[in-house]
A = this chain, B = another copy of it.
Amino acid sequence: MTKKRKRRLKTLATNERQTTAMNNLTSIVGKIYDQLDAGSVPLMELPLRSKKNIEFDTQHNVWKYGDLRTNRTAKTVQGAQMMLRTVYTADFINEMIKENKSSTLREMYYISEGWEHAKFNTQDESNLLAEDLEIISRCMREDFKLRPEESGAHVYGNLDISTMTKKGMKKFNCIDDVAETGFAVPYNVEKENFEIVGSDAKFIMAIETGGMFARLIENGFPERYGAILVHLSGQPARSTRRLIKRLNEERNLPVTVFTDGDPWSFRIFASVAYGAIKTAHISEYLATPTAQFIGITASDILNYDLPTDKLSDKDVGALNAELSDPRFNDGFWDSEIKAMLEMKKKSEQQALAKYGLDFVTDNYLPEKLTDMGVL
């Protein structure tokens, strides 16, 4: 690598969030060093990351960790090994930030092959440590330059953004500068990598399936109603949820979620709106508690006489679990879940094609969005 290129990379690398991440990780490792230096057995304090320490914060409507703490000490072999891994991982992340590299979580697991006693036995271990470091350092995995395997989300609508390319930040309009597939969302949508420049859109619509996302684009729905479409592609990635949250906060745009009508899709909605247990420590970054569910609801199945499939035993179990999930603890969800259990049927968003390819954009969505007060 030439010196000039190296210098350019260095400039790119030192953004504020990453500097904070390096400082916070260095301080974590520093504390371990200081304890060893003072002749004491190193100790790290962490919130207890088990279900009993996760609470639904009814004020902010998101999942949060409670006050229970756990201590990790180097007294046991296992504890010492965890400490060693923490140091190696912090070092690896620092190196990546300095060299403007990133790594998948899977690569980090394999990288540890060279760490001898600090080697991870499974990728679950390395993924968990990355989350621990997020919690202790109060930074995000994206600031550590750790990325998931696949992202897959796409955006379509009259939205100007500026995103990092090989040639620096570049502006895109998410209608004019994209093919019919929309704009592919990068794994890091924090400000330094992804700027929301402007939009005249009136609302966001997050959509579960690629088929429906393509349908709405083809039918000209975003242009006609001022919608920004976000393809969730099943359970949404962190970057997808973060992007929705930023659009909601920075542009003050209401968020709507349009999924299949089954218990698993209700959970997709809940993870967009209220967060997930696994990411409870960063709910305030990812969750959009004001998000509204469009459908498919149990009522839709009846009102629109939609083609259905029978609920499986697993579906019924999931619906029953949702009845005691605090995220679904309101009148709307209580009655919808009970109605679905009673009719024993589920339906898909593409089932609306029963009435033709335009029904969803000419009838269903305008009707539902008007009822919800979005249009």
B215–A104 CB distance below 8 A: yes
> What's the dominant secondary structure at chain A's contact region?
mixed
The yes or no answer to A181 lying at the interface (CB within 8 A) is: yes
Within the complex, what minimum Cβ distance (angstroms) separates A358 from chain B?
A: 9
A357–B107 CB distance below 8 A: yes
Note all chain B residues with C-beta closer than 8 A to A179. Answer: 163-165, 170, 172, 183-184, 186
The yes or no answer to A178 lying at the interface (CB within 8 A) is: yes
Supposing A179-B164, A210-B150 touch, asked if A354 and B104 sit within 8 A by C-beta, the answer is: no
Which one of B167, B183, B211, B354 lies within 8 Å of A149 (CB-CB)?
B211
Supposing A218-B102, A233-B150 touch, asked if A356 and B180 sit within 8 A by C-beta, the answer is: no
How many A residues have CB within 8 A of the partner chain?
A: 57
Given the complex of chains A and B, what is the CA–CA distance between A172 and B180 in angstroms? 13
Note all chain B residues with C-beta closer than 8 A to A352. Answer: 110
Given the complex of chains A and B, what is the CA–CA distance between A353 and B151 in angstroms? 20
Which one of B106, B114, B182 lies within 8 Å of A211 (CB-CB)?
B106
A186–B180 CB distance below 8 A: yes
Note all chain B residues with C-beta closer than 8 A to A14. Answer: none
Note all chain B residues with C-beta closer than 8 A to A348. Answer: 106
B351–A101 CB distance below 8 A: no
Within the complex, what minimum Cβ distance (angstroms) separates A119 from chain B?
A: 10
Within the complex, what minimum Cβ distance (angstroms) separates A195 from chain B?
A: 12
Given the complex of chains A and B, what is the CA–CA distance between A357 and B108 in angstroms? 9
B184–A181 CB distance below 8 A: yes
A350–B184 CB distance below 8 A: no
A sample of 14 more A-B contacts (CB under 8 A), given A149-B211, A172-B179, is A103-B353, A106-B211, A110-B353, A111-B353, A111-B354, A111-B356, A113-B354, A114-B355, A149-B209, A150-B210, A165-B175, A165-B176, A166-B176, A166-B223
